[in-house]
């Protein structure tokens, strides 16, 4: 009897140790783990959720993933134009859209009655509709937080496709930086006037990919555009750095242009707004003549072509793997 009691006590202690060990964080405190995921409005069908069931390899789709914007006109000129270019380039692929910003999705739905899928909803539909070949092409500027979040949401679905490939964000390779400079310069004649300063407003991020902004600023100057200055709203280079650079450059006029896929809220308000803290207002107070150009990166034809190329590169990788 005594040995049985000791055995039961040992089992209880072992179980307790297992539970505490499995739930402790790095400091040894007991924590509760909460997973935050996008909930799809449409559930994966029983067959589609079976790991052994995959879609038809000949049924193909390109899913274009964007942060999104509630500015309808800008959305069509930017995200819509990129999507159109991709659809024209790959006619044998069905075109799909997803936004990563649930706030924007909800705002557009409430205001306009337009339903835009989030990433999880879009992936669920691709599985349920039997697609076997999928290329996901983000319109993100860099490999930052939004791109990382997109990958976290798509990776659980990868088992349901015969082939799934990812196109790269805009600024990925070293060559991409030169291509972006050329694409912008081609449609921005102000860069050719050395008496003017052209200031580009990026979003900025706490992600290490924020270094992309400084790299792009450097590339502008390395390619002969000493009057180009790249700043950010929420990162570095910040607006104080921009003002310091302008003092040294002494331009006769300053042009402000968004360095974002869409000319949305940041461009309209933080850059070109009439409020006291907008870049336009502050620079005018410094005595500069200021003109704002509300043109998102998605409106540049060659930027659209870059996304098409990134999508094609992903497809080429896919073809090589299948041929192997």
Asked whether residue 23 is assigned to any structural domain, the reply reads: no
Same domain, 67 and 216: no
**Residue 235 CB-half CA count within 13 A:** 18
Decide: 304 and 82 in contact? Cβ < 8 Å.
Answer: yes
**Residue 26 is assigned to a structural domain of this protein:** no
- CB count in 10 Å sphere of residue 71: 20
Q: In this structure, are 74 and 119 located in the same domain? A: yes
Asked about 310 being catalytic, the answer comes back as no
Q: For residues 317 and 289, state if they share a domain.
A: no
The whole domain housing 78 covers 46-171+302-323
pLDDT tens by residue, the chain, 324 residues: 444 444 444 443 334 443 333 333 333 332 233 333 455 566 665 544 455 578 999 999 999 999 999 999 999 999 999 999 999 999 999 999 999 999 999 999 999 999 999 999 999 999 999 999 999 999 999 999 999 999 999 999 999 999 999 999 999 999 999 999 999 999 999 999 999 999 999 999 999 999 999 999 999 999 999 999 999 999 999 999 999 999 999 999 999 999 999 999 999 999 999 999 999 999 999 999 999 999 999 999 999 999 999 999 999 984 544 444
**Domain shared by 125 and 90, yes or no:** yes
Residues 138, 88 share a domain: yes
Catalytic residue among 203, 207, 266, 310: 203
Instruction: Give the global pTM.
Output: 0.83
306 plus 292 within the same structural domain: no
Say if residue 136 is in the same domain as residue 215.
no
Q: How many CB atoms lie within 10 A of CB 190?
A: 18
Terminal C-alpha separation, the chain:
66
Supply the CATH number for residue 154's domain. 3.40.50.1400
């Amino acid at each position: 009897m005594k040995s049985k009691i000791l055995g039961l006590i040992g089992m209880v202690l072992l179980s307790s140790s297992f539970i505490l060990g499995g739930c402790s964080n790095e400091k040894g405190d007991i924590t509760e783990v909460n997973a935050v995921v996008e909930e799809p409005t449409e559930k994966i069908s029983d067959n589609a959720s079976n790991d052994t069931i995959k879609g038809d390899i000949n049924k193909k789709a390109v899913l274009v993933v964007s942060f999104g914007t509630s500015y309808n006109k800008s959305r069509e000129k930017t995200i819509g134009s990129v999507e159109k270019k991709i659809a024209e380039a790959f006619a044998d692929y069905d075109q799909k859209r997803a936004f990563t910003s649930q706030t924007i999705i909800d705002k557009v739905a409430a205001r306009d009655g337009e339903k835009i899928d989030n990433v999880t909803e879009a992936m669920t539909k691709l599985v349920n509709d039997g697609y076997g070949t999928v290329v996901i092409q983000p319109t993100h500027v860099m490999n930052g937080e939004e791109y990382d979040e997109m990958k976290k949401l798509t990776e659980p679905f990868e088992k349901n496709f015969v082939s799934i490939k990812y196109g790269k964000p805009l600024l990925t390779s070293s060559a991409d930086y030169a291509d972006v400079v050329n694409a912008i310069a081609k449609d921005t004649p102000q860069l050719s006037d050395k008496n003017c300063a052209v200031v580009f407003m990026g979003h900025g991020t706490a992600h290490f990919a924020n270094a992309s902004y400084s790299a792009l600023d450097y590339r502008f100057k390395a390619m002969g555009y000493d009057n180009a200055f790249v700043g950010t709203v929420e990162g570095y280079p910040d607006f104080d750095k921009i003002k310091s650079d302008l003092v040294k450059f002494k331009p006769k006029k300053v042009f402000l242009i968004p360095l974002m896929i869409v000319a949305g809220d940041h461009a309209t308000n933080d850059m070109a707004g009439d409020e006291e803290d907008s870049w336009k207002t502050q620079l005018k107070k410094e005595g500069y003549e200021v003109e704002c150009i509300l043109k998102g990166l998605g409106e540049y034809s060659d930027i659209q072509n870059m996304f098409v190329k990134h999508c094609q590169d992903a497809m080429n990788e896919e073809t090589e793997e299948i041929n192997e």
